[in-house]
Structure 1
Amino acid sequence: TICTDGWKGYAGLAKEGYEHHAVNISASGDPAHVAMPGVHKIASLLKRWLLGTHQGSVTAVHLDAYLDEFAFRFNRRKSRRRGMLFYRLLENAVVTKPKRFRPSRASLMPSKHNL
């Protein structure tokens, strides 16, 4: 069961095979942190992390990367072996192909050879 607020964008969850329970927070009379404590906790931690670490200078271009980093940190926040985090990060970086955020200038130039 997926519990969400009353936003219409979640209406298609049932078609995807999920059981959906919508909570109208404003109609319930409860504050958001009471009606959906887990969602409220993650949203507040994300806001605090973005404002504290990035000083609020977050752009839409890099938002996916920021959210990936937040998810990585959040999922490992209670790790018993925190010293292994950096080691595992490097281990994964070595076996993963590099990915560019944008193409290099050289790749935008027309090719001079006929391949």
Structure 2
Amino acid sequence: MISQDCVIIVEGLTDKKQLEKVIDDQVTIICTNGTFDIERFDELLETYQLDEKDVFILVDEDKSGLKLRKQLASELPHADHIYVSSEYREVAATPERILAMLLLGKHIAVNPQYLA
């Protein structure tokens, strides 16, 4: 599985809580609260050493999520992207089983109860 040097960037607290239920690994989950400003990003970059870690971007499939993904992708070109289905639109609304499969596909350990 992924090393402990793994960070997932999400939009909101409900997204973070949904992921915390599913992930069975030492992963740092950062909430952007749906906004992106370069000062806050620089702070995150330094605090979490994002240039030296495996970074995943997991945001909602809506206008604000797509905008945030684009901004983060330009600042973190090495980041890997995880996409939720447009059927669910939001990370928090995506069933745990689906999230578990998406995370497993990126080699992030998940709680086996969500794979049944």
Structure with greater proportional strand content: 2
Tell me the TM-score range normalised by the shorter chain: under 0.3
TM-score of the pair, normalised by structure 2: 0.26
Q: Greater CA radius of gyration, 1 or 2? A: 1
Q: RCO higher in 1 or 2 (8 Å CA, sep ≥ 6)? A: 2
TM-score normalised per structure 1: 0.26
Greater fraction of residues in helix: 1
